[in-house]
Structure 1
């Protein structure tokens, strides 16, 4: 299994001359995530987060600090070309950025290129050509299956094949973008005909996003031991869901308008290279589970192909924000609850010859824990709306207008500095008025 290597850039002794980076919960020097930012409406450009600042990569290229690296790649207004770089080139770039931001000798040259993070606007990191959402959270699959199929919650294909479906790339938005409650068709169990109107069962889904790096040619599959060479990085993903639409429309072809109105991602690409210390062995498959077919099974992947990330979801109502009440945590759980590894879903996606491209986004699907405290959606937390969850000043079955849902993530491993993913937030706005 070809995974990124742990090297000096991950050392817990490494410090930055950017003081706010040392001990930063998300962006210490061990992270160095890439994103696309602008300041006061100027042109979007590539940046690297360091503490409470963003290094203007285009400016660094202009003054010659990144000589030897592809200038056209680093001065672009998206990360597609960066993602298409070989892992070796991305690693070399990480090394020079780490040196620029850790060696005091570079401070006078680099400090003028830093922009306060509070002054920047973030943009989508890449032009997303395609988006595929998987279903690798087995506890979510069991919990939701039990709501709709109590006698048969997990369908027989689940443990043999990574389940996924193609989503809508055009409606993916960066953290902080408001989420407009969708209108759509629903059918009450006692009604003879469906109705059309705003969703009454608005939900979030806690997911990890996987950014594809170098792609594969049409007709050429990706071997599982080569799969991580095709992954450029990771983000948080909230695949907003209208559960009432979904219940009415999902058979026979799966979700449609219930999912494609918007998905929210965190702005920063946490590079595969930065994640090197946080790969770990997947949980052993339960006794009696089938061994996957050889094309999606690798002993090396099973030895260290899972991710060690802690995930959290919180909610803040409009009334809570007005009162200055802190957000209320809804759930917390680890990515070790993924039944399939990243390498397995990448390999399976390309196994029929489907060509993946740099900047494509894969979603893990909702990641839930076995217990309620780690459920990754309100559908699960409230048992389909039957058991409301308490929040300061009220209760929730599903998300209401004015609610802000926030996802966060922290990659952790003994002996290494933890790194975060930055915010993945969205506030729900009322549905547009119906016309006609």
Structure 2
């Protein structure tokens, strides 16, 4: 228990303690903090209290940065020590913060008084394609309803390198893109605003522990030591642009318009109690991708659409555990060629779709490419997103009264530029 009062329904219990970068009106410098209940613990104010052997010479510098990259670059063991220290400082049995009213007045900030920023300077971003259900649905809707899964899909985690510069923090608006599309297959393409704007329910993980030099690999058994933590992610997608452009080189302008992530990075240690059995993989992966230990997680995810001046309607509920490929496999596969990674790089899971229609992770699937419109609570229908719609993702894990959540990942779709 923490001496800070925390609502049992809060995402941010002492079992969680996610990291983020925030600023305030009184102190506009972005700086690291940890969420606890309705508050943020300002780590720059308590850095001198980190006295463990791995953090005592690092904390003052790490917790006075404007991003989490420096913290991410530290060792797996240092992340553990930092978490233990923060839990101790917040414990109801520890008085160093609890009983020091002067320090408490500067160390804690109400979340409602803070502005959240991107948690890291993201150098590179890769988006994977790791949900079997989404892959099958994609073939049916985008290629041919009678075709089977692509033959390479069950042999390796497929992905594409996305645009890091257009990743934005939750709350940032997303503009409907203009582009080329071919609405009628046997006619020439047209240019104009995207008509089939979509979301994709994803999660993403940050790389840390200075993984590997160019030419080296990260072995599968070491991969977990380089996964710092996870965020919620919305991979906004212009489906009509995507369908026209994706052959032969995959997504391009249909995906680079914007990607939204939640501001709080939930550490893998916080998610440890929610591990579940890996999805059975057949055929058995190559040795460089095989791991016998479980690295799958029970994280419930909900997606809602809030029309302009309306109420939010939940349109999908899915779970991270549906993924066929694990994060360890994604990371190991990414480096098998010797591709070097850096602390702060972001890797996304791809759309997380479950086995039932209400657990699909995109409007493309939920509306079955517009043939089965969704009805929102205000009575309006959606085949794809309308201007003014705000898409809101939430996610949490819960077990034995312990709740670990991710906060919100939200973004509002604004009209295309008039060209």
TM-score bracket, normalised by the shorter chain, equals over 0.9
Structure 1 residue 358 and structure 2 residue 354: aligned?
Answer: no
Q: Which of 165, 174, 182 is equivalent to 1:179?
A: 174
Summarize the alignment of residues 69-84 of structure 1 with structure 2, pairs less than 5 Å apart: 69-70=57-58, 71-84=60-73
Distance in 2 (CA, whole Å) between partners of 1:69 and 1:47 is 19
Contact 1:22 1:29 in 2 (8 A): no
* Mapped contact 2:9–2:403 kept (Cα < 8 A): no
Q: How far has the Cα of 1:395 moved from its partner?
A: 0.2
Mapped partners of 1:75, 1:360: distance in 2? 20
Residues in 1 aligned to 2:21 and 2:252: alpha-carbon distance in whole angstroms? 29
1:118-129 alignment, distance < 5 Å = 118-129=112-123
Q: Runs of 5+ in structure 2 lacking a partner?
A: none
Question: In structure 1, the residue corresponding to 2:241 is in which secondary structure?
Answer: helix
2:295 matched to which residue of 1? 305
Query: Paired residue for 2:307?
Result: 317
The one of 173, 195, 201 equivalent to 1:200 is 195
Shift of 1:433: 1.3
Task: Name 2:36's counterpart in structure 1.
Answer: 50
- Matches of 2:57 and 2:90, distance apart in 1: 17
1:141–1:153 contact (8 Å) kept in structure 2:
no
The whole-number CA distance in structure 1 between the counterparts of 2:146 and 2:214 is 41
The answer on whether the counterparts of 2:122 and 2:344 sit within 8 Å (CA) in structure 1 is: yes
Deviations along 1:171-210, one digit per CA (max 9) or x if unpaired, are: 0000000111111111122563222111110000000101
Query: Within 1, Cα distance between the matches of 2:45 and 2:231?
Result: 25
* Residues 403-418 of structure 1 aligned to structure 2 (within 5 Å): 403-413=389-399, 415=400, 417-418=402-403
Q: Select 2:289's aligned residue among 277, 291, 296.
A: 296
For 1:263, the equivalent position in structure 2 comes to 259
Q: SS of 2:160's equivalent?
A: strand
Aligned CA RMSD, in angstroms, stands at 1.3
User: How far did residue 22 of structure 1 move?
Assistant: 4.7
In structure 2, distance between residues paired with 1:430 and 1:99:
48
Q: Secondary structure at the match of 2:126?
A: strand
Q: Deviations over 1:300-339 (max 9, x none)?
A: 2xxx11111111101110141xxxx3x1111112112100
Residue 383 of structure 1: aligned partner: 368
- Deviation of 1:69 after TM superposition, in Å, equals 4.8
Shift of 1:66: 2.7
Partner of residue 104 from structure 2, selected from 92, 100, 111: 111
In 2, distance between residues paired with 1:127 and 1:319?
Answer: 34
> 1:229-308 maps to which residues of 2 (within 5 A)?
229-285=225-281, 289-300=282-293, 304-308=294-298
Separation (CA, whole Å) in 2 of partners of 1:77 and 1:396: 40
TM-score by length of 2: 0.94
Q: State the match for 1:346 in structure 2.
A: 331
> Match for 1:66 among 42, 45, 50?
50
1:100 matches 2:89: yes
User: Which aligned segments of 4 or more residues in structure 1 are displaced greater than 3 angstroms?
Assistant: none
Give distance in 1, aligned partners of 2:183 and 2:144.
18
Q: How much does 1:283 deviate?
A: 2.6
Tell me, yes or no, if the aligned pair for 2:296 and 2:321 is still in contact at 8 Å.
yes
Give 1:25's aligned residue: 10
Aligned length: 405
CA distance in 1, matches of 2:115, 2:148: 43
The yes-or-no answer on 1:151 pairing with 2:142 is no
2:130 is matched with which residue? 136
1:24 is displaced (CA, Å) by 4.1
Task: Give the Cα separation in 2 of the matches to 1:416 and 1:131.
Answer: 35
Structure 1, unaligned runs of 5 or more: 1-14
Aligned partner of residue 299 in structure 1, secondary structure: coil
Structure 1 window deviating more from structure 2 (75-84 vs 144-153): it is 144-153
| Mapped partners of 1:25, 1:377: distance in 2 | 27
Distance 1:416 1:346, change over 3 A: farther
Could you say if the C-alpha distance between residues 87 and 416 of structure 1 is closer, same or farther in structure 2, counting changes exceeding 3 Å? farther
